[in-house]
Amino acid sequence: MDFLETFIPFLRKKREHERRKRRILHMVWVAAIVVVLLCGAAVVAYKMRNRIPDNIEQQWGVTFSKKYAEELGLSWQDLYASILDDLRVRLIRIPAYWDETEPRPKQYHFADLDWMLMEADRRGAKVLLAVGRRLPRWPECHDPLWLKRADQRRADPSISSGQAPVNADNFDSQEALLMYIRTVVERYRKHPAVAAWQVENEPLLSVFGICPPPDKALLDEEITLVKSLDEKPVILTDSGELSDWIELSTRADILGVSLYRVVWNQYLGYFHWPLPASYYRKKAELSLGRVKDVVITEVQLEPWAGEPIIGVPISEQRRTFDQERFHDTIEYARETGLRQIYLWGAEWWYWMKSEGYPEYWEGARRVFREKSPF
């Protein structure tokens, strides 16, 4: 009996030890397999990174935001003219912000858009004109003030109308949105500078911006409306890093994607996306069964900070987005092999030039004038 009392616990301990040993060995094998797979993927990605398809003539453009230029204290007309004449840009993405286009219900302001399109046409430049509630630059959704007030009063009838325009309360936001889109498209559909329409900007991205939740049914209505008014291609945009591109590529003629390499997060601080350029090219190839083409509509060429850039010390801006990163990002975008690439940050390059740091503007000039990256 004494022998059994001693031997049975010994067997239990031995079996437990063997189980722990097997678990550890299993974990080691799994870890080894993961490491091998990651190393293999890294080697394949490295070998593929410069394998750009032959005979691809890449076209380079910029996004221009009148609103952002004004936030930086710049003369937006001078900046826009410099983009066309000094940089010699011939592809421009321009947002037709709802709050600027329709400052009062059914009262439209087109003078600024008219001028930008006229100046583009005079130089033979082509414009991707973006319409919708959600368009490039913070806060992403650019609702007219009268619509915001009407929505607030519908939510809380006790709120005074104040200086809100007469009849603003009678507007349904979706009907108003569709009417604004219709008005813009009808005005510019025959303009020789307008080459394509962008409907909304990253409309299914819910993690960024001050916007209502994504509404796929409304998005489909907007797309159908634009296509009913004009035969030009409809471009939809998606996050290059945070999306699989599937849903929007099934709705678009052309899919536009963003390309960001260094972003700021309130939890992680600055974060670098560890993706090879071939990641975008391969995703584009997989998308071509659903969409006619994939282009890059937003290549990050300015710092991303946790506050408005105007309040960030220039030393911090230059540290987080220096000349080396500027050049590397352009080369990285080139290595994607995608045929059309819109750079993001022209307003910032011009502002930095005005602050005594012209190297970003000069670097961009080289891209557009020599038609080749660094």
pLDDT at 66: 99
Of the candidates 276, 285, 260, which has an alpha carbon nearest to the alpha carbon of residue 339?
285
pLDDT tens-digit map of 249-296: 999 999 999 999 988 887 778 888 999 999 999 999 999 999 999 999
The Cα 227–Cα 251 span in angstroms is 11
pLDDT at 271: 84
Helix runs in 245-358, H state only = 246-249, 278-287, 314-320, 323-335, 346-354
The Cα 126–Cα 145 span in angstroms is 31
Cis, peptide link before residue 9, omega less than 30° from 0: no
Confidence at 306, pLDDT banded by 50, 70, 90: confident
Of the candidates 125, 114, 104, 130, which has an alpha carbon nearest to the alpha carbon of residue 77?
114
pLDDT tens-digit map of 110-135: 999 999 999 999 999 999 999 999 99
The Cα 334–Cα 303 span in angstroms is 20
Alpha carbon 188 to its chain's center: 24
DSSP for 9-36, written as a single string: HHHHHHHHHHHHHHHHHHHHHHHHHHHH
Neighbours of 28 (CB within 10 A): 10
- For the segment 214-218, the average pLDDT, to the nearest whole number, is 98
